[in-house]
A and B are shown apart, each in its own frame.
Chain A
Amino acid sequence: GEDVEQSLFLSVREGDSSVINCTYTDSSSTYLYWYKQEPGAGLQLLTYIFSNMDMKQDQRLTVLLNKKDKHLSLRIADTQTGDSAIYFCAEIRMDSSYKLIFGSGTRLLVRP
């Protein structure tokens, strides 16, 4: 199927690390993405990883890709209250459409 799956909710304490997990389906996807959506806003691209990489680090964000298991994760170090949002993972269809297939989103709540 076309499902990209994520858990719906994650709650962490401020200053801890958050890990948001995602499984995808298409082994031919060349790019995988993490988007962030703050309340009342559109989606903002946080980071992406090319499929020939295992890891990508960008300041407090670390993306890990396990192609064998089709598993993607986003780690946020030193999580802050401003990180509270919905996080979507997505994979791309490399046909003529360049469609992104999104997961249902993980709501991250950061407790003070």
Chain B
Amino acid sequence: DVKVTQSSRYLVKRTGEKVFLECVQDMDHENMFWYRQDPGLGLRLIYFSYDVKMKEKGDIPEGYSVSREKKERFSLILESASTNQTSMYLCASSPTKKGQPYEQYFGPGTRLTVT
């Protein structure tokens, strides 16, 4: 079974702190994604990566950065946390094989509260 793990289920940080959210997948997937989920807004893509050291902005990258130094690990960084970044953060990975349904496998999520 594909496993996507996230470093924390719950996190409380103060405004202005630097925050690292870690995600690891064990299926050798090329693509990895970071989303945030807010009530009534569904999932919004923050950043994604289709290869090591490659990154692309999603729909809402402002205030975030990412790092992908190894294929299995994709980190989301909040350089200076703000209260409007309080949210549920979901990491996902997917393969790039042709003929496959390209489904994304999700981690359990990190609920971040910024006070």
Shortest Cβ distance from residue A22 to the other chain B in the assembled complex, whole angstroms: 11
Query: Can you name the residue of chain A whose Cβ is closest to the Cβ of B40?
Result: A104
Tell whether, in the assembled complex, residue B106 and residue A88 are in contact, meaning their CB atoms are under 8 Å apart.
no
Q: Is the CB of A97 within 8 A of B48?
A: yes
Contact of A98 with B50 in the complex, beta carbons under 8 Å: yes
Chain A residue total in the interface (Cβ 8 A):
23
Docked pose: A88 CA to B56 CA in angstroms: 24
Q: State which of A41, A43, A98, A103 has its C-beta within 8 Å of the C-beta of B31.
A: A98
CA–CA, A60 and B4, complex, Å: 27
Can you list, as one digit per residue, whether each of B38-49 has a CB less than 8 Å from chain A (1) or not (0)?
A: 001111010010
B64 within 8 A of A: no
Decide if A13 is an interface residue (CB 8 Å cutoff): no
Contact B101–A100 (Cβ < 8 Å): no
Contact of A42 among B42, B48, B90, B103 (CB under 8 A): B90
Query: B residues engaging A (CB < 8 A)?
Result: 4, 31, 33, 40-43, 45, 48, 50, 56, 58, 90, 92, 94, 96, 101-109
| A interface residue numbers (CB < 8 A to B) | 8, 31, 33, 35, 40-45, 48, 50, 88, 92, 96-100, 102-105
